[in-house]
């Protein structure tokens, strides 16, 4: 298990462990009502907060979203790559 920096602030799942370490565009993150430094959200909790399913254009082009960096969950891969 990774350290507490990767825990979803809503459901407390370890986002790194479940393969949901990602970066979305700042406008999408702002909709979650979390400041950039307030923590992590798993995909499900982010979608719950913004009240919609994420789509590929919500994700930034940062390398962290690459399927080759860190293990990715099926859920996040379906959002990033359709």
pLDDT in tens, 37-80: 678 999 999 999 999 999 999 999 999 999 888 899 999 999 99
Tell me the residue range of the domain where 56 lies.
Answer: 7-81
73 falls within a domain:
yes
User: How high is the pLDDT of residue 3?
Assistant: 61
Q: How far apart are CA 42 and CA 21, in angstroms?
A: 8
Evaluate whether residue 1 is within a structural domain.
Answer: no
- Is residue 2 a part of any domain in this protein? no
- 43 located within any domain: yes
Number of domains the chain is built from: 1
Question: Is 40 part of any domain?
Answer: yes
Q: How many CB atoms lie within 10 A of CB 75?
A: 16
Q: Is residue 20 part of a domain?
A: yes
Rounded CA-CA distance 79/56 in Å is 6
Residue 16 pLDDT > 90: yes
**The predicted structure's pLDDT at residue 2:** 54
């Amino acid at each position: 298990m990774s350290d507490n920096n990767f825990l979803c602030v809503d459901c407390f799942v370890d986002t790194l462990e479940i393969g949901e370490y990602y970066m979305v565009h700042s406008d999408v993150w702002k909709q979650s009502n979390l400041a950039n430094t307030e923590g992590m959200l798993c995909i499900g909790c982010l979608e719950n907060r913004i009240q919609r399913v994420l789509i590929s254009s919500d994700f930034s082009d940062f390398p962290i979203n690459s399927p080759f960096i860190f293990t990715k969950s099926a859920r996040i891969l379906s959002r990033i790559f359709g």
